[in-house]
Structure 1
């Protein structure tokens, strides 16, 4: 799969339960999502690539066994937002999907039908003994960084609004350049876009070749819906308003 936020706005009202366990005794208790992320230590030092693979395996297989896929997608999106310290967005996703949190964490939660969902700790935070695969310096800052041949392809992008689309891209393109392309195509200001791949926030200077993205993988874009929904006044309208108005 390769992406980090699923199509979590689609089909919630029409979905059906797939036989996951139910908890009739939870009594409707619902706590706000806690800001603190769990701290844990892996049994062995884990690389970023191993963590990505472990997460991808879970998110790819979990919906196949129990629960509703759209709820799993919402939980995945909330987990990514929470890891990126966007608690407000994570809470909005949980509320929008009518997910109940008895303990205020994503480790155990329920949908509106009473189906139970459990997220492993490695999907919510990296281990304290994580091994970094690259230096703290942005690879794009180095003039000697290897540059892949400029060969264009169709990049799959999934918006948090539930819309899928494709952008013409090359491995040498930066995320900042792709944000501008998305802005021109969908009228979404680049400042209101946050791009993620394999659970990691992509900076504007990051090149696609640095993300190790492969064919048919999906990059997730979280759109600041509040900014998009804010009333916009045209210059003409603004100029016509007097101070008293």
Structure 2
């Protein structure tokens, strides 16, 4: 990381301010640095190339070493950190018992001592990145209204709050996660902007619909408020 503590820096306290500015002392476990991973690439330059590399890594990494549930948690934490939701990323890491000796997701360890290495392209877009989605990105906006098919039948989903309380909601298959958050805000008083939903340990996109997630009957969605 290049942030070693010399003689003149030993008096610095490793408080929140240090973490936010990328200063960390290497040890057994450190809080997640609240700074994005900066890098550039001569190969990855567009959305399609980046997503392809990420999909390939997350699909194949569990087959070689480590536990799949830890990989799932790391993927969710990486996605949250890329969105600068560091509180959520830290909560996911802590909940999965993952240690960050350097305060970064690039090198992690689980409770059994297994080592996990995540490439930079899974943590942030390169500085020379060019979006190739154009109007498609706008079409996927979570705030865009989705017409409801009048022939749709409502389904019941269960959500578990961080307090341990379970909440049941009746929704349409075309209901988006952004709408689910607003329903939680209405019924439970939870700020929709600060709410994150996890499905099988993975962070759920606001634009995803109930139908797209293919949630098994009786499955519980985790709700984390940052």
Shared fold, TM over 0.5: yes
Alignment-derived partner of residue 131 in structure 2? 131
TM superposition shift of 1:117: 0.5
Please, which moves more after superposition, 113-122 or 59-68?
Answer: 59-68
TM superposition shift of 1:40: 2.0
1:169 and 2:172 matched:
yes
Give the 5 Å matches for 1:188-227: 189=190, 191=192, 192-194=194-196, 202=206, 208=209, 214=212, 216=214, 222-224=223-225
1:106, 1:155 → 2: CA distance?
36
Give the 5 Å matches for 1:81-230: 81-128=80-127, 129-135=129-135, 138-139=138-139, 150=149, 152=152, 168-171=171-174, 173-180=175-182, 189=190, 191=192, 192-194=194-196, 202=206, 208=209, 214=212, 216=214, 222-224=223-225
Q: Secondary structure at the match of 1:130?
A: coil
Alignment-derived partner of residue 51 in structure 1? 50
Give the structure-2-normalised TM-score.
0.59
Q: Is the 8 A contact 2:27 2:102 kept in 1?
A: no
1:184, 1:146 → 2: CA distance?
18
After superposition, the Cα gap between the structure-2 partners of 1:85 and 1:138, relative to the gap in structure 1 and judged at 3 Å, is same
Deviations 1:29-78 (A, max 9, x none): 32322112212223235332442333233222222221112221221221
TM superposition shift of 1:132: 3.8
Q: Secondary structure at the match of 2:51?
A: helix
Gaps of 5+ in 1: 1-26, 226-245
Q: Is the 8 A contact 1:74 1:97 kept in 2?
A: yes
Q: How many matched pairs? A: 187
Alignment-derived partner of residue 40 in structure 2? 41
Gaps of 5+ in 2: 1-25
After superposition, the Cα gap between the structure-2 partners of 1:67 and 1:155, relative to the gap in structure 1 and judged at 3 Å, is farther
Alignment-derived partner of residue 231 in structure 1? none
After superposition, the Cα gap between the structure-2 partners of 1:36 and 1:71, relative to the gap in structure 1 and judged at 3 Å, is same
After superposition, the Cα gap between the structure-2 partners of 1:194 and 1:134, relative to the gap in structure 1 and judged at 3 Å, is farther
Give the structure-1-normalised TM-score.
0.55
TM superposition shift of 1:100: 2.0
Q: Is the 8 A contact 2:157 2:171 kept in 1?
A: no
Q: Is the 8 A contact 1:167 1:182 kept in 2?
A: no
